[in-house]
C-alpha cells in the first residue's frame, strides 16, 4: 500500500481511491463515515423526531412590519385557544431580556420597539404544534409604524431614521498600508458592486427541545453549531449559572453558519416556556418562518478604486465596503473583520486602503454564513482584477500570475508575511488545467447564437480559524477514554453538522492511537462533558478538535506506554502504536494488541481517561491600522467556471467548476471532496439564482419554490484538484476547507458570464432581469428590467477576454 | 365530519390500521401515529422531498398527501426499503460513495432513488429523476455516483 507521504506532494482526484486503512493508519483515506449508516436507514434522531411524555410545542408571534412602536399586546385570544398552556411576553421573563452575542442590542422579546420583520412579540406553549401556531397568530399587537431605513448606505447619511439610539454606524474597520505608489498607476478602475445576501437553506429547520428540572436547571437538545453559545444565551434569559444549563447537540441537519448564532434564540424561547410550564418544550420552526426570521448572509455594497501599471502589476487598491447588519449586530463585527482583511485577495499590492463599515438597517439581520464576509469582497475583488486585466490587455490568468502572492512575495493585505509554501500559483495552474482553459479559448465560439459560452476564474485567500479579534474563543477541549476492550470514546466540543467533523475526529484519534477507525466512537458534543471549546465556525472544527484530541492522546500515552513497555519487555520510549497494536519500534514482530494493553490498564486500575486542550498561538494585530497577523495561517483556493448564458432569457447555466484547493494535508478524502462539491454548488447558487427579495424589510420569497437553491438537475459538474503541502499548522498539517470551498465560486461564475456576454455585471445574484438589464439596448426587454434593477449599470467591455 | 376516521393500509409490508383525525397528512400518520420518523419535514409544502415515501411504489411528497387517501394502499417508508435486515442497495452505495453529509435529505433521497432503480432505465436520467429532492450539503455529485453504482450493480446481478 502506498504511504501518504510517499505519494506525489500534489495530488488530483481521479479514480484514485486514496490510501486505505492499513499500517499507516486511516489518514487521507475514504473509510465509511461513522454517521452514514444510521442516516441512510432513517434511524438518526433529529430534534424534531424526539418527544417526551407531557411535552409541549412552542409557537411564536412575530412583528409583520420592520419598524414600529409597540403600543399594546393583547394575548387573551391566544390564551383561550384549546391546548394552550402558556403565553409569555417581555414582561414575564425570568432573567435578562437579551440574546445579543456580542452587543447587548437584541431583546429576546420586543417590549416597546420593533426593529425588523420577525421581531418576537410573544411566545406560546401548547399541547400540539397546531394549537401553538394558531394561538401565536391570535396575539394581537397594536403597532405604530415608525420610519425605517432599508439601504445600508443611506442608513449612514445624517438624518436617516435611527434603528438604535446610538446611531446607525456600528463600527468601522480599516487597513491603511503604504501610499506613495498610488500616483504611478497607468490604469485605474473604479467600480461599485452591490453584493446580495443569501439564505442558508439548511434542509432541517431550526429546532430544539428544552427539558426543565424544576426551576433549578435545564437540558437543551438543539440543532446547532455552537452548544456553548446556546448555553450562554439560555443561562442569561433564565438567570441561571452556566453549570445549570446543559446543552447537548442533536444531530444537525445542515448549518452553513445559520446554526452558529441563531439557534441561541429559539433555545432561549423554548427554555423560557419550559420554565413557565414546568414541562419539556419542543420548538421547531416551520420553513416559511425560518426563512423569514433567521439570519442571512450580509448584503454588502463595495466601492473600488484600483490601479495597475502598464506591465500589469497592481499598484494600489482602495476598497470602501458597507455591510448591512440589519436590525441587530449579532456577529456582524466579526464578519466585517474578516471581510476587511480579505478585501484584496491573494494578491501582492504595495498600497492598500480598505475601510469596512457596518450599518444598522431595518432589514433582516445578518449572521454567520460560510465564508463570513469574504465571499462578498472576493466577488468584488475578482471582478476588478478582470477589469484591470482587460484594461492593460492581459489574459486574466497572466494578469493574476503577475500579481499573485508566492514564496517570494508573501505580504498580505495587512502586511503579515505568509508562511511558506504559498500555493496560489499552483492552485491557479491546477484549476486552469482541469478546466481546459487554453483549449476552451483556442476553440472558436459562435457570437451570433442566443447561447453564449464563457469561462471565468477567481481566487481566494482564506485566513484559517478565528480572527485576532476573536482569539479569546480560539481554544478547544477533548476527552479520550480507552475502554477496557481497546475501543475508544472521544468527546469534543465542536459539532458535526454534516461537514464531517465526526469522521475527521475519528480519523485523527485513530491515526494517533494506531487503531482502526471503527474502534473509535466520537460522540456529539455536550457542554457537561468538555470545556467551552468556542464555536464550530471558521473552518476550524477539524483543526481545533483535532489538535485537542492529539493533546489528549499524548497525555493518555504517558500512562499507556509504560504498561505497554512492561508487556513488551522494552523501554517506554520504544513503544509505538500502529495497526491496532502496541509494538517495539523497529521490531514489528514484538507486539501486543491495544486491547491487551487496555485490559492491563483496567486490571491495574490505571486512569484510562485523558483530557486535551488546544489554543491558538498568540498574534500581534493593530486594530487601528489593520496591520499585523489577523490569522495564524492561510489557505488558497482557485475556481474556474464554465457557463452557458441564454442571452434572450438572461438565464445562466453553470456547466462546470474546476476547483483547486490548498488543504495542507487530507484527513478524510470523501469528506474533503464532499465539502468542496457542496461549497462550490452553494456558491454557484448564491451567485446566480438565490435572490433574497426584500420588500420594506420583509422577505417576499420565503419558500423553496421562490428562493431557488441548486437542484440535482442544475448543479454543475465539479472537478477537484487537491494540493497538499508540508508545514501547515493543523493536525497532521491539515487546513480547513469548509469555507474556501465556497468563497471564489460565485466570482468565477461572474467573470465567466462577463466573458460570455461582453458586458460588466456589478450586482449579485446574476438573475435573469439583471442580465437582461446589463445587456442594455442589445436586449428587446431591457426597459422592463432596468426599472427593477436600478443599480445594474450597463458597461460594455471588449469582447472575448 | 367525523372526529376520527380509521385508515387501513399496508405499511412497510405490514397491514396496519390507524384511528386518526380526518385532515391528517400522510407524513403525520407515518411519523406520529406509526412512529416511523425516518421521513423528514423539510418544508411541509411539497418543495424539498425530505418527506418522500412510496405510495403503491411511486415516490410522493407525504406532506402533500392526505392520510385518508392512502387508505387501502401500500406505503413504504425509508425504514422499509431494505430487505431482511440489510440496507437497500442504494442506501448501501450512498454510504460507500460518501453521499451522506448532514443526512436530513437522505431518507427522502433514498426512497426516490429506490423508486428510480425499481423502474429501471437510463443512468443518464438519474440526476433529473432525483431533482425533486433538495440537498444543501453534498452538491449532489456523490449521490448521483451512488445511484449510478447501485444501478450498475443491479444490472450485473440480474439474471441474463
Ligand atoms: S416536507 Fe414534504 S416536500 Fe418538503
Ligand atoms: S446531506 Fe444535508 S441536505 Fe443533503
Residue B74 lies in a domain: yes
Question: Which residues are A59's β-sheet partners?
Answer: A124
Q: Do B38 and A37 touch (CB under 8 A)?
A: no
Ligand 2 centre from A397 Cα, in Å? 35
Residue A801 pLDDT class (50, 70, 90 cuts): very low
- Written in H, E and C, the secondary structure of A167-201 is CCEEEEEEEEECCHHHHHCCEEEEEEEEECCECCC
Residue B160 lies in a domain: no
Average pLDDT over residues A343-358: 97
Query: What CA–CA distance (Å, rounded) separates B146 from B150?
Result: 6
CATH code, domain carrying B51: 3.10.20.30
Instruction: Report which protein residue has its CA nearest ligand 2's atom 4.
Output: B135
Burial of A354 (0-12, 13-18, 19+ CB in 10 A): buried
- Alpha-carbon dihedral sign for residues A341, A345, A350, A354: negative
Note whether B12 and B54 are same-domain residues. yes
Q: Please give the grid coordinates belonging to residue A129.
A: 404544534
Task: Please tell me which of the candidates A252, A677, A705 has its beta carbon nearest to residue B142.
Answer: A677
CB of A612 closer than 8 Å to CB of A478: yes
pLDDT surpasses 70 at A782: no
* Residue A252: C-alpha distances to residues A207, A443, A554, A628, B99 (Å): 9, 46, 30, 36, 16
Q: Measured between beta carbons, which residues in chain B are less than 8 angstroms from residue A718?
A: 139, 141
pLDDT surpasses 50 at A12: no
Q: Please give the grid coordinates belonging to residue A66.
A: 420592520
| pLDDT given at position A469 | 84
Note whether B17 and B73 are same-domain residues. yes
Q: Can you tell me whether residue A359 is helix, strand or coil?
A: strand
CATH code, domain carrying B117: 1.10.150.120
Residue A174 pLDDT class (50, 70, 90 cuts): very high
Q: Please give the grid coordinates belonging to residue B152.
A: 450498475
Residue B130 lies in a domain: yes
Residue A790 pLDDT class (50, 70, 90 cuts): very low
| pLDDT given at position B2 | 67
* Residue A743: C-alpha distances to residues A414, A562, A664, A738, A739 (Å): 19, 48, 18, 10, 6
CB of A123 closer than 8 Å to CB of A60: yes
| pLDDT given at position B1 | 53
- For residue B101, the ligand 2 atom closest to its alpha carbon is 1
| pLDDT given at position A799 | 36
Q: Can you tell me whether residue A86 is helix, strand or coil?
A: strand
The residue with cell 424561547 is: A269
Q: Considering every ligand atom shown, identify the ligand nearest to the alpha carbon of residue B39 and give its number.
A: 1
Per DSSP, A68 falls in state: E
Note whether B57 and B104 are same-domain residues. no
Note whether B47 and B100 are same-domain residues. no
Domain boundary among B19, B47, B80: B80
The fraction of chain A above a pLDDT of 70, given in percent, is: 94
CB of A364 closer than 8 Å to CB of A733: no
Average pLDDT over residues A527-552: 92
Per DSSP, B29 falls in state: I
Most confident of A151-165, A469-483, A625-639: A151-165
Note whether B93 and B63 are same-domain residues. no
Q: Are strands A207-213 and A120-126 parallel, antiparallel or unpaired?
A: unpaired
**Sheet containing A587-593, strands listed edge to edge, beginning at the edge strand earlier in sequence:** A575-578, A581-584, A587-593
pLDDT surpasses 70 at A568: yes
Note whether B59 and B116 are same-domain residues. no
The alpha carbons of chain B give a radius of gyration, in whole angstroms, of 16
* Window from A91-105, A299-313, A412-426, A472-486 with minimum mean pLDDT: A91-105
B108 lines ligand 1 (CB under 6 A): no
pLDDT surpasses 90 at B54: yes
pLDDT surpasses 90 at A14: no
Exposure of A183 in the CB half-sphere (CA atoms within 13 A): 1
The fraction of chain B above a pLDDT of 90, given in percent, is: 92
CB of A132 closer than 8 Å to CB of A126: yes
Per DSSP, A248 falls in state: E
pLDDT surpasses 90 at A210: yes
pLDDT surpasses 70 at A700: yes
Give chain B's domain count. Answer: 2
CB of B62 closer than 8 Å to CB of B132: no
Among B138, B139, B146, the mutation site with the greatest number of ligand 2 atoms within 8 A of its Cβ is B138
Query: What CA–CA distance (Å, rounded) separates A732 from A738?
Result: 17
Note whether B14 and B67 are same-domain residues. yes
Per DSSP, A706 falls in state: T
* Window from A382-391, A714-723, A769-778, B25-34 with minimum mean pLDDT: A769-778
B28 lines ligand 1 (CB under 6 A): no
Q: Measured between beta carbons, which residues in chain B are less than 8 angstroms from residue A205?
A: 42
Q: Are strands B5-11 and B74-76 parallel, antiparallel or unpaired?
A: parallel
Which long-range CB contacts under 8 A does B50-53 form with residues at least 24 apart?
B50/A203, B50/B104, B50/B105, B50/B107, B50/B108, B50/B133, B50/B134, B51/B27, B51/B108, B52/B107, B52/B108, B52/B109, B52/B111, B52/B112, B52/B132, B52/B133, B53/B26, B53/B27, B53/B77, B53/B78, B53/B111
CB of A422 closer than 8 Å to CB of A406: yes
| pLDDT given at position A8 | 35
- Alpha-carbon dihedral sign for residues A683, A747, A326, A767: negative
Domains of chain A by start residue, with CATH: 47-146+200-293 (3.90.1170.50), 300-467+623-778 (3.30.365.10), 475-615 (3.30.365.10)
Q: Do B136 and A682 touch (CB under 8 A)?
A: yes
Q: What is chain A's mean pLDDT, rounded? A: 93
Note whether B49 and B107 are same-domain residues. no
The model's pLDDT over A588-620, given as tens digits with 9 standing for 90+, comes to: 999 999 999 999 999 999 999 999 999 998 999
Query: What CA–CA distance (Å, rounded) separates A278 from A82?
Result: 19
| pLDDT given at position A780 | 60
DSSP A469-538: GGGGG-EEEEEEEE-TTS-EEEEESS--SSSSHHHHHHHHHHHHHT--GGGEEEEPPBTTTS-----S-T
Q: Can you tell me whether residue A258 is helix, strand or coil?
A: coil
Burial state string for B141-150 with b = 16 or more CB within 10 A and e = fewer than 16: bbbbbbbbbb
| pLDDT given at position A430 | 98
Note whether B11 and B76 are same-domain residues. yes
Among B37, B48, B60, B112, the mutation site with the greatest number of ligand 1 atoms within 8 A of its Cβ is B48
Note whether B60 and B98 are same-domain residues. no
Q: Considering every ligand atom shown, identify the ligand nearest to the alpha carbon of residue B105 and give its number.
A: 2
CB of A203 closer than 8 Å to CB of A251: no
The fraction of chain A above a pLDDT of 90, given in percent, is: 86
Domain boundary among B80, B103, B135: B80
The alpha carbons of chain A give a radius of gyration, in whole angstroms, of 27
Q: Measured between beta carbons, which residues in chain A are less than 8 angstroms from residue B141?
A: 677, 715, 717-718
* Window from A26-40, A525-539, B100-114 with minimum mean pLDDT: A525-539
Residue B159 lies in a domain: no
Question: Which residues are A701's β-sheet partners?
Answer: none
Cα–Cα nearest to A616, from A725, A466, A504, A422: A466
| pLDDT given at position A468 | 87
A674 lines ligand 2 (CB under 6 A): no
* Window from A124-133, A295-304, A451-460, A791-800 with minimum mean pLDDT: A791-800
* Residue A11: C-alpha distances to residues A43, A458, A727 (Å): 36, 21, 17
Query: What CA–CA distance (Å, rounded) separates A721 from A729?
Result: 21
| pLDDT given at position A267 | 98
Q: Please give the grid coordinates belonging to residue A652.
A: 445562466
Note whether B74 and B117 are same-domain residues. no
Q: Measured between beta carbons, which residues in chain A are less than 8 angstroms from residue B98?
A: 30, 33, 36, 670-671, 673-674
Q: Please give the grid coordinates belonging to residue A126.
A: 401548547
| pLDDT given at position A241 | 97
Residues listed for chain A: 801
| pLDDT given at position A798 | 43
Domain boundary among B80, B102, B120: B80
CA A620 to chain centre: 25
Q: Which of residues 43-102 of B touch A (CB under 8 A)?
A: 43-45, 47-48, 50, 77-79, 82, 87, 91, 94-98, 100-102
Q: Does the predicted TM-score (pTM) go above 0.90? A: yes
ipTM: 0.98
Residues of the domain holding B69: 5-80
Q: Considering every ligand atom shown, identify the ligand nearest to the alpha carbon of residue A201 and give its number.
A: 2
Q: Please give the grid coordinates belonging to residue A358.
A: 457596518
| pLDDT given at position A766 | 98
Note whether B9 and B74 are same-domain residues. yes
CB of A66 closer than 8 Å to CB of A115: yes
- Alpha-carbon dihedral sign for residues B91, B96, B102, B105: negative
pLDDT surpasses 80 at A719: yes
Among B50, B104, B134, the mutation site with the greatest number of ligand 1 atoms within 8 A of its Cβ is B50
Which residue would you say has higher pLDDT here, B126 or A779? B126
Q: Can you tell me whether residue A15 is helix, strand or coil?
A: coil
Q: Can you tell me whether residue A77 is helix, strand or coil?
A: helix
pLDDT surpasses 60 at A83: yes
pLDDT surpasses 70 at A354: yes
CB of A689 closer than 8 Å to CB of A727: no
Query: What CA–CA distance (Å, rounded) separates A635 from A483?
Result: 37
Amino acid at each position: 500500500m502506498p504511504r501518504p507521504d510517499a505519494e506525489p506532494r500534489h495530488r488530483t482526484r481521479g479514480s484514485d481511491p486514496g490510501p486505505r486503512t492499513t499500517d499507516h493508519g486511516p489518514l487521507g483515506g475514504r473509510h465509511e463515515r461513522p454517521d452514514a449508516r444510521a442516516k441512510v436507514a432513517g434511524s438518526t434522531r433529529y430534534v424534531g423526531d424526539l418527544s417526551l411524555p407531557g411535552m409541549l410545542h412552542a409557537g411564536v408571534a412575530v412583528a409583520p412590519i420592520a419598524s414600529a412602536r409597540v403600543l399594546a399586546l393583547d394575548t387573551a385570544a391566544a390564551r383561550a385557544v384549546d391546548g394552550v398552556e402558556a403565553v409569555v411576553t417581555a414582561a414575564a421573563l425570568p432573567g435578562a431580556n437579551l440574546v445579543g452575542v456580542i452587543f447587548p442590542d437584541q431583546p429576546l422579546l420586543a417590549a416597546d420597539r420593533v426593529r425588523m420583520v420577525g421581531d418576537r412579540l410573544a411566545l406560546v406553549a401548547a399541547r400540539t404544534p397546531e394549537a401553538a401556531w394558531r394561538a401565536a397568530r391570535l396575539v394581537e399587537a397594536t403597532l405604530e409604524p415608525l420610519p425605517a431605513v432599508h439601504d445600508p448606505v443611506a442608513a449612514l447619511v445624517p438624518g436617516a431614521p435611527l434603528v438604535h439610539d446610538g446611531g446607525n454606524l456600528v463600527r468601522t474597520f480599516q487597513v491603511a498600508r503604504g501610499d506613495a505608489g498610488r500616483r504611478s498607476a497607468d490604469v485605474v478602475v473604479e467600480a461599485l458592486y452591490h453584493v446580495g445576501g443569501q439564505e442558508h437553506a439548511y434542509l432541517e429547520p431550526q429546532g430544539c427541545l428544552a427539558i426543565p428540572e424544576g426551576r433549578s436547571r435545564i437540558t437543551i437538545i438543539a440543532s446547532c453549531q455552537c452548544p456553548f453559545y446556546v448555553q450562554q444565551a439560555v443561562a442569561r434569559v433564565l438567570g441561571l449559572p452556566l453549570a445549570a444549563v446543559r446543552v447537548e447537540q442533536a444531530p444537525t441537519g445542515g448549518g452553513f453558519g445559520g446554526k452558529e448564532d441563531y439557534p441561541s434564540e429559539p433555545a432561549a424561547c423554548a427554555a423560557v416556556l419550559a420554565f413557565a410550564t414546568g414541562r419539556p418544550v419542543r420548538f421547531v420552526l416551520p420553513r416559511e418562518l425560518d426563512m423569514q426570521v433567521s439570519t442571512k448572509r450580509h448584503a454588502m455594497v463595495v466601492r473600488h478604486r484600483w490601479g495597475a501599471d502598464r506591465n500589469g502589476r497592481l499598484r494600489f487598491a482602495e476598497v470602501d465596503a458597507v455591510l448591512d447588519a440589519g436590525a441587530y449586530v449579532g456577529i456582524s463585527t466579526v464578519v466585517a473583520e474578516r471581510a476587511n482583511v480579505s478585501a484584496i485577495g491573494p494578491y501582492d499590492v504595495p498600497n492598500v486602503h480598505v475601510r469596512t463599515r457596518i450599518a444598522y438597517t431595518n432589514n433582516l439581520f445578518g449572521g454567520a454564513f460560510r465564508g463570513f464576509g469574504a465571499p462578498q469582497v472576493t466577488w468584488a475583488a475578482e471582478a476588478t482584477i478582470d477589469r484591470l486585466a482587460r484594461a492593460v490587455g492581459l489574459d486574466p490568468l497572466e494578469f493574476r500570475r503577475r500579481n499573485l502572492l508566492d514564496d517570494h512575495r508573501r505580504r498580505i493585505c495587512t502586511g503579515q508575511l505568509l508562511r511558506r509554501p504559498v500555493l496560489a500559483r499552483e492552485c491557479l495552474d491546477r484549476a486552469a488545467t482541469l478546466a481546459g482553459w487554453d483549449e476552451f479559448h483556442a476553440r472558436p465560439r459562435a457570437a451570433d447564437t442566443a447561447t453564449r459560452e464563457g469561462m471565468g476564474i477567481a481566487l481566494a485567500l482564506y485566513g484559517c480559524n478565528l480572527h485576532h479579534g476573536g482569539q479569546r474563543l480560539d481554544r478547544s477541549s477533548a476527552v479520550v477514554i480507552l475502554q477496557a476492550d481497546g475501543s475508544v470514546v472521544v468527546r469534543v466540543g465542536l459539532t458535526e453538522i454534516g461537514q464531517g467533523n465526526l469522521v475527521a475526529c475519528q480519523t485523527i484519534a485513530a491515526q494517533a492511537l494506531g487503531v482502526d477507525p471503527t474502534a473509535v466512537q466520537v460522540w456529539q458534543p455536550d457542554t457537561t462533558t468538555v470545556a467551552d471549546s468556542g464555536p464550530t465556525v471558521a473552518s476550524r472544527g477539524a483543526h481545533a478538535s483535532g489538535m485537542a484530541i492529539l493533546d489528549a492522546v499524548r497525555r493518555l500515552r504517558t500512562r499507556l506506554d509504560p504498561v505497554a513497555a512492561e508487556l513488551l519487555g522494552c523501554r517506554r520510549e520504544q513503544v509505538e502504536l500502529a495497526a491496532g497494536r502496541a509494538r517495539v519500534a523497529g521490531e514489528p514482530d514484538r507486539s501486543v494488541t491495544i486491547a491487551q494493553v487496555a485490559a492491563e490498564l483496567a486490571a491495574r486500575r490505571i486512569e484510562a481517561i485523558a483530557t486535551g486542550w488546544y489554543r491558538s498561538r498568540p498574534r500581534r494585530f493593530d486594530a487601528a491600522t489593520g496591520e499585523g497577523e489577523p490569522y495564524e495561517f492561510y489557505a488558497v483556493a482557485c475556481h474556474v467556471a464554465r457557463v452557458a448564458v441564454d442571452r434572450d432569457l438572461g438565464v445562466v447555466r453553470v456547466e462546470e467548476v474546476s476547483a483547486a484547493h490548498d488543504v495542507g494535508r487530507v484527513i478524510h478524502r470523501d469528506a474533503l471532496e464532499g465539502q468542496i462539491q457542496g461549497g462550490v454548488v452553494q456558491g454557484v447558487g448564491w451567485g446566480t439564482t438565490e435572490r433574497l427579495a426584500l420588500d420594506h424589510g420583509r422577505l417576499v420569497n420565503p419558500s423553496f419554490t421562490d428562493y431557488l437553491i441548486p437542484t440535482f438537475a442544475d448543479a454543475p459538474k465539479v472537478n477537484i484538484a487537491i494540493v497538499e503541502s508540508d508545514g501547515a499548522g493543523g493536525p497532521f498539517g491539515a487546513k480547513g476547507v469548509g469555507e474556501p470551498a465556497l468563497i471564489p465560486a460565485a466570482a468565477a461564475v461572474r467573470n465567466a458570464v462577463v466573458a460570455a456576454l461582453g458586458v460588466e455585471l456589478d450586482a449579485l445574484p446574476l438573475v435573469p432581469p439583471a442580465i437582461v438589464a446589463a445587456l442594455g439596448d442589445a436586449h428587446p426587454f431591457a426597459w422592463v428590467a432596468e426599472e427593477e434593477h436600478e443599480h445594474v449599470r450597463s458597461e460594455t467591455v471588449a469582447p472575448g477576454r | 365530519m367525523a372526529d376520527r376516521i380509521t385508515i387501513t393500509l399496508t405499511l412497510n409490508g405490514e397491514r396496519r390500521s390507524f384511528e386518526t383525525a380526518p385532515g391528517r397528512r400522510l407524513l403525520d400518520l407515518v411519523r406520529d401515529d406509526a412512529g416511523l420518523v425516518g421521513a423528514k419535514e423539510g418544508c411541509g409544502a411539497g418543495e424539498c422531498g425530505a418527506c418522500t415515501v412510496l405510495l403503491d411504489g411511486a415516490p410522493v411528497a407525504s406532506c402533500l398527501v392526505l392520510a385518508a387517501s392512502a387508505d387501502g394502499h401500500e406505503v413504504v417508508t425509508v425504514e422499509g426499503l431494505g430487505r431482511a435486515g440489510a440496507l437497500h442497495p442504494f442506501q448501501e452505495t450512498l454510504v460507500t460513495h460518501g453521499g451522506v453529509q448532514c443526512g436530513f435529505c437522505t431518507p427522502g433521497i433514498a426512497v426516490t432513488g429506490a423508486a428510480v432503480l425499481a423502474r429501471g432505465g437510463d443512468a443518464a436520467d438519474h440526476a433529473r429523476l432525483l431533482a425533486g429532492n433538495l440537498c444543501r450539503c453534498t452538491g449532489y455529485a456523490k449521490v448521483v455516483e451512488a445511484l449510478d453504482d447501485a444501478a450498475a450493480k443491479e444490472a450485473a446481478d440480474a439474471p441474463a
